[in-house]
């Protein structure tokens, strides 16, 4: 058994974080890391103290909104946004960090990532939105798409 690379290690964490999601469409997880230390995590879900899609149903499904469009019509805050918010709430700087994500960020999250000073984004999904890729390139943010790590946890007890 070989040890996972650092990217695989943190990408695997994003899958665990995503298990907390309250979205009926996609479970998304994000992990903010600097110097191989976890700064904050986030998953997609309703605003603090608010009812979520598990309880109320999906607004996007009810309105027939296609995936990847009209992000503003949703109860959930995106995982990337929640990770940055958690860092902020706890006084943790995101400057120079790497954002690991289960899914490639939308353009809204990409703009927030740029302003948060994050220098690298790693995902195991392709960046389908050309606008996100263009923004990251213009902002000097490194984008890496890695193979999805094996979701099975292996350890010796």
User: Among all residues, which ones are annotated catalytic?
Assistant: 80
Element holding 131 (H helix, E strand): helix 130-139
Please say whether the beta carbons of 7 and 144 come within 8 A: yes
Residue 97 tokens, joined? 């960090």
In this structure, are strands 120-123 and 98-101 parallel, antiparallel, or unpaired? Answer: parallel
Q: How many residues does the chain have?
A: 157
Cα–Cα dist 142/41, whole Å: 20
Report CA dihedral (54, 78, 104, 112) to the nearest 10 degrees.
180
- For 79, the token pair is 């995982």
Instruction: Note whether 77 and 53 are within 8 A (CB).
Output: no
């Amino acid at each position: 058994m070989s040890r996972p690379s650092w990217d695989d290690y943190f990408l695997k964490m994003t899958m665990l974080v995503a298990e907390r999601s309250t979205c009926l469409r996609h479970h998304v997880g994000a992990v903010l890391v600097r110097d191989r230390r976890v700064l904050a995590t986030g998953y997609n879900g309703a605003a603090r103290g608010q009812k979520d899609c598990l309880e109320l149903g999906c607004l996007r499904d009810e309105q027939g909104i296609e995936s990847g469009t009209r992000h503003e019509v949703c109860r959930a805050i995106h995982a990337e946004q929640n990770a940055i918010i958690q860092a902020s709430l706890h006084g943790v700087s995101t400057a120079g960090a790497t954002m690991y994500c289960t899914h490639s960020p939308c353009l809204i999250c990409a703009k927030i990532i740029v302003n948060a000073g994050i220098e690298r984004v790693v995902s195991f999904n392709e960046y389908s939105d050309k606008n996100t890729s263009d923004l990251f390139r213009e902002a000097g943010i490194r984008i890496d798409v890695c193979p999805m790590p094996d979701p099975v946890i292996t350890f010796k007890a």
